Amino acid sequence: MPLTVNIYLRKQQVCSVEMTSELELGRQRPSEPGPYARIGDRLTIARLEESDVSRRHLRLETQPGGLLRVTNLSLVNPVVLGTDEQIKPGEHRDVTPPSLISLGDRVIQIEPSREVQPPGILDSFMHQTIPPGGANTQFAALSGILTAPRSSEETGYLLRGFHATIGLFQLASKASEFFSLATQAMIDIVGMERAAVVIWYGREWRVESYCSRSRDAAAGEDDWEPSSTILERVRSERKTFWRVPTENASASLMDVKSLVAAPILNRRAEVVGAIYGDRRRRTDGRLDLQITEVEAILVELLSTSVAAGLARLEQEKAALEARVLFEQFFTPELSRQLEAQPDLLLGKDTEVSLLCCDIRGFSAVSEQLGARLTIDWVHDVMETLSACVAEQSGVLVDTLGDRLIGMWGAPLDRKDHANLACRAAISMVEQLPALNRRWQSVLAKPMDLGIGVHSGTARVGNIGSTRKFKYGPLGSNVRLTAQIEEATRRWSTQILISEATAKQLDESFSTRRLGQIGDDQLPTQLFELAADPADDWPDTKRRYETALEAYERGDLPTATRLLAKLLADRPTDRPALQMLARINEYPPGRKRS
């Protein structure tokens, strides 16, 4: 009785062979090819360096009465029969298949073959089937075939089949449609009696789509089973195979049939399935069993078409997932560009403008609102502020509770990144009245923002992990941006920008210098960015900066006099009030901060 020997490595089937009387299994010898090569009655199941398998480890021999003799040929390594019975070196056991044998990480399953093959000749192409690699896969599969010497009838048949196949698969939009169209084409175009698409699930083949020439499309499906032998040849060799009966096959043998199968490959050239068809001899003898090379070409064309279609679906799915991921951080336009140019996301040092925005009084508001309302409020605020970043073509780096970080200048280089960041900051401040109106019924007082903007070099890339994508900047300029945002409290203003940012702005922005942060060796000059400047802003800017210069050179009386005049005209100028308070806190003779 023929037996099928299946080899599993770490629960994945890696080989399947047929044996009739005897089979020896062992580690690769120096002169032998690697796993899982079969030479006569010997099968290599481990590489040369894998010492847990001996070079001659196991012999399987069929015995009378349907028994199988399992002999441990190794001198040192044991064999486990079933789950716990050991066969020591040199010993043997007689078992009745099906049986399981363990050799190190390998499990060997021996079972009766599911079919007795009718007599026939197995034929194949010299070439391996081409894996999907783009839109021209089908044309690559036909290169050299259409130009080979053929009769005009054969060439016409191939061209008709080719055009019909292309037309069919233009209609498909999901895997099940590719499968059903392929099986129907096997009947209508190739002329099979029955056809199926079978998929390899790691340990077994499963029929995903079946079609019959009979009016009842499911006729015979329940008792129909594809040839495991030809499918294993297709899977192990990645070729199209077909078998036709030999001339001495009995004409009255009703089970005589011809078979054809072609592999369906993924982009890694792995066999994920096969297109399978057969013809069975009828009582009236009218069915021609012969499968010609031209028909086998069309079957392979169908398989490469299905493979290309599945690869396209996989690529579209990956692109959709990438777009959903990207659009959490990038604008839709930038997301589409990143799909086409993923290298833009590789890490690099680049000039960017960074924005850090903080919700003032967050802790007090969250205690007042409670958990549920706080979540709703923060969601509304962050959605509004994030839209300001997106509208100015920025990257939403992160939202951290009460804080938002945006970036301009990467992944696409933008010369105007400072202008864009500052426009986003102004837009955020402009959204405050609408936000406060929406929440005035539950908030004790209107909310406010503190925003810092800084331009400089940062190392930009995926600063997240393989589990959570996070595109953003790293480096000292990121920390400085956060410090600038924190300094808005000191000057009681909403938007502060660094000198590096201010130097890059065009004349449409209204700024004034407020002072510096950092020590004398690494000072950072800060500027207020006015979101809605009054008509007399130029005069306010001039008078404040004159007072600031007096303050910085230690002329506190002059600074005090100038600030007093400024506040008499503009009593709500908060930076002027803050500077005057610092002068009063540090009178002459006391060290000034």
Looking from the CA of 340 toward its CB, the CA atoms found within 13 Å total 5
Query: Which range, 98-107, 237-246, 342-351, has the best average confidence (pLDDT)?
Result: 98-107
Q: What pLDDT, on a 0 to 100 scale, did the predictor assign at position 283?
A: 47
Of the candidate ranges 116-120, 180-184, 200-204, the one whose mean pLDDT is the lowest: 116-120
Per-residue confidence (pLDDT) for residue 413, from 0 to 100? 87
542: phi then psi, degrees, rounded to nearest 5: -65, -45
Q: What is the pLDDT of residue 233?
A: 87
Chain mean pLDDT for the chain: 82
Instruction: Determine how β-strand 99-103 pairs with β-strand 194-200.
Output: unpaired
Mean pLDDT of 220-247: 78
pLDDT at 82 over 90: no
**Range with lowest mean pLDDT among 4-8, 261-265, 499-503, 523-527:** 4-8
Q: Is the pLDDT of residue 60 over 90?
A: yes
Identify whether the C-beta of residue 161 lies closer than 8 Å to the C-beta of residue 272.
no
Residue ranges covered by each domain of the chain: 3-112, 121-316, 332-532, 534-593
Whether pLDDT at 86 is above 80:
yes
Give yes or no for a contact between 347 and 415, defined as CB atoms under 8 angstroms apart: no
> What local confidence, expressed as pLDDT, does residue 254 receive?
41
Query: What residues form DSSP beta bridges with 102?
Result: 80, 107
- Please report the pLDDT score of residue 189 as a whole number: 84
CB atoms within 10 A of CB 125: 16
Pick from 243-247, 505-509, 524-528: least confident: 243-247
Q: What is the pLDDT of residue 543?
A: 95
pLDDT at residue number 285: 46
Q: What is the pLDDT of residue 177?
A: 83
pLDDT tens digits for range 1-20 = 688 888 888 777 788 888 88
* pLDDT for residue 304 is more than 70: yes
Q: For residues 63 and 547, what is the distance between their CA atoms, to the nearest angstrom?
A: 108
pLDDT band at 104 (very low <50, low <70, confident <90, very high): confident
> What is the per-residue pLDDT for 249?
44
Q: How confident is the model at residue 533 (pLDDT cuts 50, 70, 90)?
A: very high
**DSSP 8-state secondary structure symbol assigned to residue 129:** P
Residue 405 pLDDT exceeds 90: yes
Dihedral Cα 132, 133, 139, 143, nearest 10 deg: -90
Average pLDDT value for residue range 226-251: 76
- Per-residue DSSP letters for 332-374? HHHHHHHHH-GGGGS-EEEEEEEEEEEETTHHHHHHHH-HHHH
- Mean pLDDT, residues 205-214 taken together: 88
CATH code for the part of the protein at 332-532: 3.30.70.1230
* Per-residue pLDDT at 77: 85
More confident residue, 431 or 590: 431
Select 121-316's CATH number: 3.30.450.40, 3.40.50.150, 2.40.50.100, 3.40.30.10.
3.30.450.40
* Predicted pLDDT at 221: 59
The pLDDT value given to residue 593: 46
pLDDT above 90 for 175: no
What was the pLDDT predicted at 137? 47
Position with higher pLDDT, 377 vs 327: 377
pLDDT, average across residues 453-461: 93
Which of 564 and 293 is assigned the larger pLDDT? Answer: 564
Q: What is the pLDDT of residue 319?
A: 65
pLDDT of residue 267: 84
Query: Considering the chain, what percentage of its residues have pLDDT values greater than 70?
Result: 78
DSSP readout, 9-23?
A: ETTEEEEEEEESSEE
- Whether 236 shows a pLDDT value over 90: the answer reads no
Among the residues of 476-588, which ranges form H helices?
A: 476-491, 499-502, 537-552, 556-569, 574-585
Q: Choose between 464 and 442: higher pLDDT.
A: 442
Assign domain 3-112 to its CATH architecture.
Sandwich (2.60)
In the predicted model, what is the mean pLDDT of residues 87-105?
88
pLDDT of residue 358: 95
More confident residue, 379 or 9: 379
pLDDT value for 181: 86
Mean of pLDDT values over 163-183: 73
> Which of 168-172, 178-182, 383-387 is the least confident region?
168-172
Residue 402 above 80 pLDDT? Answer: yes
User: How confident is residue 509, by pLDDT bands cut at 50, 70 and 90?
Assistant: very high
* pLDDT one-digit tens code per residue, 266-286: 888 889 999 999 887 554 444
Global pTM? 0.52
Q: Give the residue, 505 or 286, on which the prediction is more confident.
A: 505
Checking if the pLDDT of 590 tops 50, the result is no
Q: What is the length of the chain? A: 593
Confidence (pLDDT) at 251 = 39
- pLDDT at position 118 over 50: no
- The better pLDDT of the pair 577, 170 is held by 577
Which helix (H) or strand (E) segment is 275 a member of?
strand 271-280
What distance in Å separates the CA atoms of residue 224 and residue 293, rounded to the nearest whole number? 25
